[in-house]
């Protein structure tokens, strides 16, 4: 089953199951598959039915085999399965078949608009299958390529120096100086921030989290990266008002390890290689035909 079709079908069935869970009872359909009682005939050889061909449900002239059910059930993601039962899924497989049959009964199978949509979907599935076969299944990234990229792009994996910054922002310098005096007597910075700060971090006690060099406005960055852990700044003026700053932790600049970034690198390289393969494929296909474009009509 094509991946796109499979995902679409699973999603539809999942939604239907949620809508009808514990409402649509399938006990009448899931009757015990017992062989009707007959007189034993020791000379008759019993026919063994392959498990996948076991009839799980029958209705009208239609059936659902155990093989069909298992194929769909195995494709349902585990996080969906935790919200479903097999009875739910079977009930919706039956609903799906009944809906398809009724659509055919009223002639939608031959409807012009429907046929056009089916054609477009078939073409999309065909293209996806082709790209899967010619690009996605073929293009790979090996460990050597990942390691080479890591060595050649160390700057991309360098974390700049960081500080865990707390901030109190007020409107006037006089107010800031009053607060600074309070803080120097040992008052709790976060409590003072909650009570007085007009900054967006006030409700978090002035906590701005970890910030890297280059991400803070220059007037503040110059001050905070010169502070020692636990040290209070003097009052700092910016366009936003007057700040009192404090840092509770410093992280030095470091290069992330290969182990930390190898999967990100692999995905980056894979995406680049797939795009290159796609572009080459299109160019190759174009070279096999003569393409004429009516530029006038295009206008």
Alpha-carbon span 175 to 168, nearest angstrom: 11
| pLDDT score, position 21 | 43
- Torsion, Cα 245 251 254 258, to 10 degrees, reads -120
Enumerate residue ranges in the chain where pLDDT < 50.
18-45
Tell whether the torsion through CA atoms of 67, 69, 75 and 78 is positive or negative: negative
Alpha-carbon span 89 to 274, nearest angstrom: 36
Alpha-carbon span 4 to 2, nearest angstrom: 6
| pLDDT score, position 33 | 36
Tell whether the torsion through CA atoms of 171, 172, 174 and 177 is positive or negative: positive
Q: Which of 295, 280, 293 is nearest to 135 (CA)?
A: 280
| pLDDT score, position 281 | 96
The 10 Å CB-count burial string (b at 16+, else e) for 61-83 is eeebbbebbeebbeebeeebeee
| Ordered structural domains, the chain, with CATH | 1-31+50-106 (no CATH), 161-252 (3.10.50.40)
Alpha-carbon span 277 to 63, nearest angstrom: 44
Q: Which of 30, 75, 36 is nearest to 55 (CA)?
A: 30
| pLDDT score, position 13 | 60
| pLDDT score, position 9 | 60
278, two tokens: 């796609």
For 276, the 3-state DSSP assignment is: helix
Measured at the CA of 72, the angle between CA 124 and CA 47, to 5 degrees, comes to: 125
pTM > 0.85: yes or no: no
- Angle of helix 86-105 relative to helix 3-20, nearest 10 degrees, comes to 110
| pLDDT score, position 7 | 56
Contact (Cβ atoms closer than 8 angstroms) between residue 54 and residue 34? no
């Amino acid at each position: 089953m094509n991946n796109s079709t499979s995902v679409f079908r699973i999603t539809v069935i999942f939604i239907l199951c949620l809508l009808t869970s514990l409402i649509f009872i399938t006990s009448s359909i899931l009757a015990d598959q017992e062989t009707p009682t007959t007189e034993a005939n020791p000379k008759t050889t019993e026919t063994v039915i392959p498990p996948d061909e076991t009839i799980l449900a029958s209705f009208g002239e239609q059936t659902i085999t155990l093989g069909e059910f298992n194929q769909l059930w195995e494709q349902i993601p585990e996080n969906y399965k935790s919200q479903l039962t097999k009875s739910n899924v079977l009930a919706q497989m039956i609903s799906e078949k009944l809906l398809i049959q009724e659509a055919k009964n009223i002639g939608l199978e031959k409807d012009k608009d429907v046929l056009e949509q089916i054609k477009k979907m078939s073409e999309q599935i065909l293209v996806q299958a082709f790209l899967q076969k010619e690009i996605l299944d073929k293009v790979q990234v090996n460990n050597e390529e990942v390691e080479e990229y890591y060595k050649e792009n160390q700057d991309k994996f360098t974390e700049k120096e960081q500080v865990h910054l707390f901030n109190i922002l007020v409107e006037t310098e006089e107010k800031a100086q009053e607060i600074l005096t309070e803080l120097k007597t040992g008052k709790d910075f976060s409590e003072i921030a909650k009570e007085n700060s007009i900054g967006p971090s006030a409700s978090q006690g002035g906590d701005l989290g970890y910030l890297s060099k280059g991400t803070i406005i220059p007037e503040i960055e110059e001050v905070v990266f010169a502070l020692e852990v636990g040290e209070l700044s003097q009052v700092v003026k910016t366009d936003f008002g007057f700040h009192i700053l404090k840092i509770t932790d410093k992280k030095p600049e470091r290069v992330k390890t290969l182990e930390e970034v190898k999967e990100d690198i692999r995905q980056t390289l894979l995406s680049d290689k797939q795009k290159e393969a796609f572009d080459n494929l299109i160019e190759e296909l174009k070279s096999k035909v003569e393409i004429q474009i009516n530029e006038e009509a295009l206008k």
